[in-house]
């Protein structure tokens, strides 16, 4: 792939470190890409060219002087407008914060800066990251680069588009109900939802006052064009909040298997109460078949739980968490419900966590859908709770689209998404590779095997034009 904007992050970083590629050169190529494609996509919502060029120049000068550099030194990136970035407008997609400029970085952002990134802009989100479509009253609607009449997913929709089109080297998304995984799948890139608690989520913008609390099941994690890049970025941002570093340490266990012949995997691709679009299901089954044919062991095993109960209990958790974003008279009903109801739901959710833990004593990973459909047409005509979406000729509840991701998030598990092909309509489809608590390196390793078998990231055809 000759286009330097589409190189994986690890190749860009290595070339900059060796002096074979200037950070300035890569930045200028990405700025040109933004100028060329962003007007039709509206993914990047703010850019500071002067500040980015100064940072890229400083990065090149450091390489020339032979100074020690970080693993992401000189790599230009955009960052999702869902967390605090010092000195940059950080809105959370809400008019309530349209002029907000923080004086501090979220800890995960500070870690990326320490690793050497060059920040060039921010990417679009739904208001308070509360939808799986990406639009708001501050910056408008973001479009899918594979079909601009469709959503790129949410809430990291702008991030997914920026990575897919080479406007950014990688991105840092947030995920409380699928906000990394759905945009990764809909835009044909890779994404990793870490085990809950592995990355600090302080500085998350989910209401007007901002947040320093760790929301139940919410995580920060990377989107990138290769699985290797996901792991590099995860290693940079993983760790406890700075206030806890005196006593806490993070040591993720090594991958259980790194080649196909060592993998024990199970599948759960379809559920009668929430059927998967046949066009998506075909690609998921083909991916499992490829892994099986490569020597992995396919096991007939699933967690001992009721799928619907687990999925909707996780939805209850999320609705309670995002209620802080809602107005008291919000028509979605997100602000309804008592703290007692929320706590009772957590007791049920944690029983499901135990059931998942028992499954991963027997298998290494479970393969599952990211979403029951590929990217769907834009629709902001109704409040979120009243929407429907047409899948395989049938009108479905809008929330059906996030039940698979929500259930896995509710179990606090790591999940890596990797592209597995395209539907007959040409839309990308991703698969969830789910592992046990803390087994992030295992899900990444299995996703890497699938990436090798199936080809991984491909640029949207629109880039060729």
Q: Is 18 a catalytic residue?
A: no
Name the band, by pLDDT with cuts 50, 70 and 90, for residue 398.
very high
Lowest mean pLDDT segment, chosen from 210-224, 231-245, 247-261: 210-224
**CATH match for 4-464 among 3.90.1300.10, 3.20.20.70, 3.30.565.10, 3.40.630.10:** 3.90.1300.10
The residues pairing with 379 across neighbouring beta strands, listed in sequence order, are none
| 3-class SS of residue 436 | coil
Q: Is the pLDDT of residue 329 over 80?
A: no
Q: In a 10 Å sphere around its CB, with 0-12 CB exposed, 13-18 middle and 19+ buried, how is residue 65 labelled? A: exposed
Q: 134-176: per-residue pLDDT in tens?
A: 999 999 999 999 999 999 999 999 999 999 999 999 999 999 9
| 3-class SS of residue 122 | strand
Q: Is the pLDDT of residue 182 over 70?
A: yes
Q: Is 155 a catalytic residue?
A: yes
**If residue 32 lies in a helix (H) or strand (E), which one and from where to where?**
helix 23-41
Number of Cβ within a 10 Å radius of residue 437: 17
User: What confidence score (pLDDT) does residue 324 get?
Assistant: 54
Indicate the pTM of the whole model: 0.96
401 close to 132: Cβ distance less than 8 angstroms: yes
Q: 251-293: per-residue pLDDT in tens?
A: 999 999 999 999 999 999 999 999 999 999 999 999 999 999 9
Q: Is 338 a catalytic residue?
A: no
User: What confidence score (pLDDT) does residue 368 get?
Assistant: 98
Q: Is the pLDDT of residue 35 over 70?
A: yes
Q: 282-309: per-residue pLDDT in tens?
A: 999 999 999 999 999 999 999 999 999 9
Q: Is the pLDDT of residue 332 over 50?
A: no
256 close to 262: Cβ distance less than 8 angstroms: yes
Average pLDDT over residues 398-413: 95
374 close to 280: Cβ distance less than 8 angstroms: yes
CA–CA distance, 141 with 151 (Å, rounded to integer): 9
In sequence order, what E strands does 201-252 have?
Answer: 219-224
CA–CA distance, 274 with 312 (Å, rounded to integer): 12
Q: In a 10 Å sphere around its CB, with 0-12 CB exposed, 13-18 middle and 19+ buried, how is residue 423 labelled? A: middle
Quickly list DSSP for 268-333. Answer: ----TTSPPPHHHHHHHHHHHHHHHHTT-EE-----SS-HHHHHHHHHHHHHHHHGGGS-TT-TT-
Q: Which of 94, 129, 155, 325 is catalytic?
A: 155
User: What confidence score (pLDDT) does residue 270 get?
Assistant: 93
Q: What percentage of the chain exceeds 70 in pLDDT?
A: 93
User: What confidence score (pLDDT) does residue 146 get?
Assistant: 98
Backbone dihedral region for residue 396 (phi beyond 0: left; psi -120 to 50: alpha; all else: beta): beta
Mean pLDDT of the chain: 93
Q: Which of 179, 211, 325, 373 is catalytic?
A: 179
Number of Cβ within a 10 Å radius of residue 163: 34
Q: Which of 80, 168, 200, 373 is catalytic?
A: 80
User: What confidence score (pLDDT) does residue 328 get?
Assistant: 47
Lowest mean pLDDT segment, chosen from 310-324, 387-401, 433-447: 310-324
CA–CA distance, 392 with 410 (Å, rounded to integer): 27
**If residue 23 lies in a helix (H) or strand (E), which one and from where to where?**
helix 23-41
Give residue limits of the domains in the chain: 4-464
113 close to 338: Cβ distance less than 8 angstroms: no
User: What confidence score (pLDDT) does residue 290 get?
Assistant: 98
């Amino acid at each position: 792939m000759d286009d330097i904007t589409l190189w994986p992050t690890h190749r860009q970083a290595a070339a900059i470190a060796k002096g074979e590629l200037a950070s300035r050169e890569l930045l200028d190529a990405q700025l040109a890409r933004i100028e060329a494609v962003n007007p039709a996509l509206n993914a990047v919502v703010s850019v500071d060219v002067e500040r980015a060029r100064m940072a890229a120049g400083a990065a090149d000068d450091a390489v020339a002087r032979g100074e020690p550099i970080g693993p992401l030194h000189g790599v230009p990136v955009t960052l999702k407008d869902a967390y605090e970035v010092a000195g940059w407008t950080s809105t959370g997609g809400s008019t309530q914060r349209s002029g907000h400029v923080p004086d501090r970085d979220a800890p995960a952002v500070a870690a990326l800066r320490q690793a050497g990134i060059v920040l060039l802009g921010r990417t679009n989100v739904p208001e308070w990251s509360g939808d799986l479509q990406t639009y708001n009253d501050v910056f408008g609607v973001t479009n899918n680069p594979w079909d601009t009449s469709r959503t790129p997913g949410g809430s990291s929709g702008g991030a997914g588009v920026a990575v897919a089109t080479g406007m950014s080297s990688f991105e840092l998304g947030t995920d409380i109900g699928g906000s990394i995984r759905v945009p990764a799948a809909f835009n044909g890139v890779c994404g990793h939802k870490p085990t809950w608690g592995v990355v600090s989520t302080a500085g998350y913008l989910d209401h007007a006052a901002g947040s320093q609390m760790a929301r139940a099941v919410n995580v920060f994690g990377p989107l990138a064009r290769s699985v290797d890049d996901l792991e590099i970025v995860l290693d940079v941002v993983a760790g406890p909040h700075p206030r806890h570093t005196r006593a806490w340490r993070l040591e993720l266990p090594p991958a259980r298997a790194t080649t196909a012949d060592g993998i024990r995997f199970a599948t759960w691709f379809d559920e009668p109460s929430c059927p998967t679009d046949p066009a998506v299901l075909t690609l998921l089954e083909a991916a499992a078949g490829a892994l099986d044919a490569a020597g992995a062991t396919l096991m007939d095993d699933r967690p001992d739980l009721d799928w619907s109960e687990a999925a909707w209990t996780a939805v209850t958790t999320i609705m309670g968490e995002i209620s802080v974003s809602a107005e008291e008279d919000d028509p979605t009903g997100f602000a309804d419900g008592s703290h007692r109801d929320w706590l009772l739901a957590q007791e049920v959710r944690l029983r499901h966590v135990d059931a998942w833990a028992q499954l991963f004593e027997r298998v290494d990973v479970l393969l599952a859908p990211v979403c029951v459909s590929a990217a769907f047409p834009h629709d902001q005509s109704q409040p979120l709770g009243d929407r429907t979406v047409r899948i395989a000729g049938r009108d479905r509840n809008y929330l059906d689209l996030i039940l698979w991701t929500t259930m896995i998030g509710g179990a606090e598990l790591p999940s890596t998404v990797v592209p597995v092909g395209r539907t007959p309509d040409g839309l990308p489809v991703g698969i969830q590779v789910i592992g046990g608590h803390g087994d992030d390196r295992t899900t990444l390793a299995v996703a890497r095997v699938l990436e090798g078998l199936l080809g991984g990231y491909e640029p949207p055809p629109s880039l060729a034009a």
